[in-house]
Amino acid sequence: MKRLIFYFAGLLLLASCSSSGKGELVGVSKRPRFYQPDPYGMVYIPMGSYTMGVGDENIPGTMDYQPKTVSVSAFYMDETEITNNEYRQFVHWVRDSIARVKLGESLPELYLIEENKKTGEVYDPPILNWGKPIKWNGEEEREILAEMFLPENERYFRRKEIDTRKLFYEYYWVDLRAAASKDYSGGDPKNAAFANRPQGMRDRSVYVRKETINIYPDTLVWLHDYSYSFNDPLAENYFWHPAFDHYPVVGVNWRQARAFSIWRTQYLNSFLASREQAIMMDFRLPTEAEWEWAARGGNALSPYPWGGPYCRNEKGCFLANFKPLRGDYAADGGLATLVVGHFPPNDFGLYDMAGNVAEWTVDAFHSSAYNFTWDMNPSYTFNAKDTDPPILKRKVVRGGSWKDVSYYLQNTTRSYEYQDTAKSYIGFRNVQGFLGRQKGDNPRRASKIYN
């Protein structure tokens, strides 16, 4: 009798838990619909397969890009390189966040939020109040923020300027490669007892990496790269002057470019979360395979992004900003960098995939990478530390720049630079993964019913 009672009670419990489906497997009800909008300033790149690399020798004769058929998932890519003004938004955010932290220590009621007035949730530690404008010249604020500015003995012509040496950005990232390895200790001796334990049997926080980096560009790269050339106007004005707002940012090393990508992700997802919307895929640097696929613009056999074998159009005009002829920098309309989007886009709608500035990718450089990486979404990454030898700090650079001959503008040409160096001819752009197979897919199928 007791067994029957428990049996019927179980049936009633199951019946009460299911408000729909009539006993059939229909999934969780009332799930929000999701449509991935095109990110602002980005272009959709469809998935596809192509032959990455070429069979010819490169200039050093090392054959480090042997042909290989690879397949790439769909993604979004910035239609232009990140500009000075876009990167300046990142710099200003870091500057303002540092200022709010300092102001919050003395004026917490103005610059910190300690409690959610709607839900009553207490924030510990408090969060920054971004709705409160900073009074840089306020009587109390001016004294608190004085240490953020250059000391008087370092000021040129008495100009009061932010001390950019203090603009450090603290960020976190998840080391999925370490999480997938057999050693689950996360590299920390204190966690050695967890080594080789199954996934899920340990604290995931050991895979979270914390880094702090100064994010201000090296504005003197023009003088570092060309010591005896007349680059003073660019060195003094290039990053901050409004005349160069829409020029590609330079002087940003690989680590700074990655920090920008992480900040951009958190900046967007924080906004979406505040409106209870689904978060998006991370912004990041493109893989080498993604970059080449995007640069080709769907033209599998063309050497340049514009689809042809020449660097001029039918009217004799150059199609990119590079070093044409025998070093006539002005022949293409610019001596150094040019405003982004000056030349026509490729067939995917991407500008400056060849010339203007070369671009960082996420991949580490290895001459044999094409041989040992997988053929679907291939990527060779290595998280080099400051103490590692220089050879481990090489990152792939693609696209050629204003100072390069046409060979470096080709879709297949790969070069490298060290992750902790900044150059006057290297910039970057971001990609964002597409959540799905292809744009425009309809998830409904005859055998299932999705409401």
Task: Tell which CATH architecture fits domain 27-81+221-443.
Answer: Alpha-Beta Complex (3.90)
pLDDT at 9 over 50: no
Give the tens place of pLDDT for each residue, 390-403.
999 999 999 999 99
pLDDT at 341 over 50: yes
Q: What average pLDDT score do residues 106-122 get?
A: 87
Residue 186 in this model has a pLDDT that exceeds 80: no
Question: 451 falls in which pLDDT band (50, 70, 90)?
Answer: very low
- Average pLDDT estimate for 49-76: 82
Residue 275 binned pLDDT confidence (cut-offs 50, 70, 90): confident
pLDDT at residue 378 greater than cutoff 90: yes
Three-class secondary structure assignment of the chain: CHHHHHHHHHHHHHHHHCCCCCCCCCCCCCCCCCCCCCCCCEEEECCEEEEECCCCCCCCCCCCCCCEEEEECCEEEECCCCEHHHHHHHHHHHHHHHHHHHHHHHCHHHHEEEECCCCCCEEEEEEECCCCCCCCCCHHHHHHCHHHECCHHHCCCCCCCECHHHCEEEEEEECHHHHHCCCCCCCCHHHHHHCCCCCCCCCHHHHEEEEEEECCCCCCHHHHHCCCCCCHHHHHHCCCCHHHCCCECCCCCHHHHHHHHHHHHHHHHHHHHHCCCCCCCCEECCCHHHHHHHHHCCCCCCCCCCCCCCCECCCCCECCCCCCCCCCHHHHCCCCCCCCCCCCCCCCCCCCCCCCCEEEEEEECCCCHHHHCCCECCCCCCCCCCCCCHHHHEEEEECCCCCCCHHHHCCCCEEEEECCCCCCCEECCCEEECCCCCCCCCCCCCCCCCC
* Domain positions in the chain: 27-81+221-443
- Tens digit of pLDDT for each residue in 280-298? 999 999 999 999 999 999 9
> By percentage, how much of the chain surpasses pLDDT 70?
86
pTM for the structure as a whole: 0.89
pLDDT tens digit string along 314-324? 898 999 999 99
Q: Residues of the chain with pLDDT > 90: what percent?
A: 58
